[in-house]
Structure 1
Amino acid sequence: MNSSLILRTGTRALVPVFLLVAILVLLRGHNEPGGGFIGGLLAAICVALYEKAFGVDEARRWLRLPPMTIAGIGLAAALLGGLWGVVEHGMFLTGVWPLYEYGPDGWTGWPVGSVLLFDTGVFLVVVGVVAAILFALEEAGIPEDRPEDGEEHS
C-alpha cells in the first residue's frame, strides 16, 4: 500500500477519537438523537479510514473478525433485543428495563435494557456490512497493470 505518512499518522490519531464518538452516539441513542445506525456509520468511517491508510489486509486484521461475522453477531443481538420484549411483555421490540425502576425517590438504577441490546446489534450490522462492501469494492478495484490517465493505451 502506497499511502502517505501523513495519512497513516493521522489515522492512528483519529480512529480512537472517532470510535469514542461512535460509542457515545450509540449509548445516547435511545433517549436523544443517535443510536445504533448513526453510531455504526461513524465506526464504519474508522474502518474506511484505516483501510485507505494501511490496506485491506491490515484493515481485516484490525477488525479481528470477518465483516459478515460482525454483521451476523449484530443481527443476533438485535433479534435478541426484540425477543426480550416478547418474553417479558408478549410483544416484539417492546422495551424491557430490568435494572431501572421508579421508586419514591424517582428513577433509580441503570437505564440498560433491550433497547441498548437492539441498538448495539444495529451498530454491529452496519459496521460489518459497510466493511464487507468496502473491502469487496477495494479488492475488485483497478488492476495494477492498467495505464494511468494521460498515458498511451497499447
Structure 2
Amino acid sequence: MDSVILKTAIRFLFPLLLLSSVFLFLRGHNEPGGGFVGGLVASGAIALYAMAHHVAAARRVLRVSPRVLIGSGLLLSLSCGVAPLLFGRPFLTGLWMKVATKGLGEIHLGTPLLFDLGVYCVVTGVSLVFVFSLLEE
C-alpha cells in the first residue's frame, strides 16, 4: 500500500504503540495486561509498519526473525517453569529475588515476569509470521 497518510500516521503511531506495548507488558503483573496483550499490541504496530513500508522494511526494523522470537520465547517460558524444580519446588512456582537500585529502591524480580516475557515473544512472533505471510502474497 502506498499511502502518504498511512506513512505519516505510522511515523507517529509506531513509537506510541511500542511504548504502550511495554506498558501493558509491565502492568500485567498486578493488573490486566501482560505478555499476551503486550505482544499483540507490538505485533500490531509492526504490522502497521509493514503495511505502510512493505514487509522487507518491517523485517529490518524488527531485526530478529519472528521464528527466532517464537523459539526463544518458548525456551524462556519453559526454563521459568523448570527452574523451581531445581530448588525442590513444584513446576511453575514463582521464584523471587530482591534487587537494590539507586533511585527506585528495592525491586522484586521473579520468574513470573520472565514467563510473561516468553509469552510476549511467542505471541509477537506467531502474529508476525501470520501477518508477514499474508502481506507477502
TM-score, structure 2 length as denominator? 0.90
Count of aligned positions: 132
Please state whether the residue corresponding to 1:91 is helix, strand or coil: coil
Q: Counterpart in 2 of 1:63? A: 62
Q: How does 1:11-22 map to 2 (within 5 A)?
A: 11-22=10-21
Computing the radius of gyration over CA atoms, which structure comes out larger, 1 or 2?
1
- Which ranges in structure 2 are unaligned for 5 or more consecutive residues? 100-104
Q: Which residue identity is paired with 1:76?
A: L
Distance 1:31 1:85 in 2: 21
Which structure 1 residue ranges, 5 or more long, are not aligned? 101-107, 141-154
Of 35-44 and 81-90, the range deviating more from structure 2: 81-90
Paired residues of 1:76 and 1:121 also in contact (CA < 8 A): yes
Find 1:121's aligned residue among 111, 118, 122.
118
Shift of 1:88: 3.0
Quote the offset at 1:77 in angstroms.
Answer: 1.1
2:109 is paired with a residue whose SS is coil
- The 8 Å contact of residues 68 and 129 in structure 1, kept in 2 or not, is answered as yes
TM-score for both structures, normalised by structure 1 = 0.80
The structure with the largest helix share of the pair is 2
Name the amino acid aligned to 1:99: K
Question: Match of 1:72?
Answer: 71
**Would the alpha carbon gap of residues 89 and 46 (structure 1) be closer, same or farther in structure 2, given more than 3 Å must change?**
farther
Distance 1:88 1:30 in 2: 23
Aligned to 1:112: 109
- CA spacing shift, 1:42–1:89, aligned 2, 3 Å: farther
- % identical aligned pairs: 45
Confirm or deny that 1:135 pairs with 2:121. no
* Equivalent position of 2:45 in the other structure: 46
Task: Give the aligned residue type for 1:33.
Answer: P
Q: Using the alignment, how far apart are the partners of 2:113 and 2:40 within structure 1?
A: 17
Distance of 2:88 and 2:37 partners within structure 1: 28
Aligned counterpart, 1:149: none
Give per-residue Cα distances to partners, 1:48-89, cap 9 Å, x unaligned.
101110011111111111111111111111112112222234
Query: Contact 1:85–1:114 at 8 Å: present in 2 too?
Result: no
Pairwise CA RMSD: 1.5
Secondary structure of 2:86's partner? helix
Specify the code of the residue in structure 2 equivalent to 1:39. G
2-structure distance, mates of 1:24, 1:37: 12
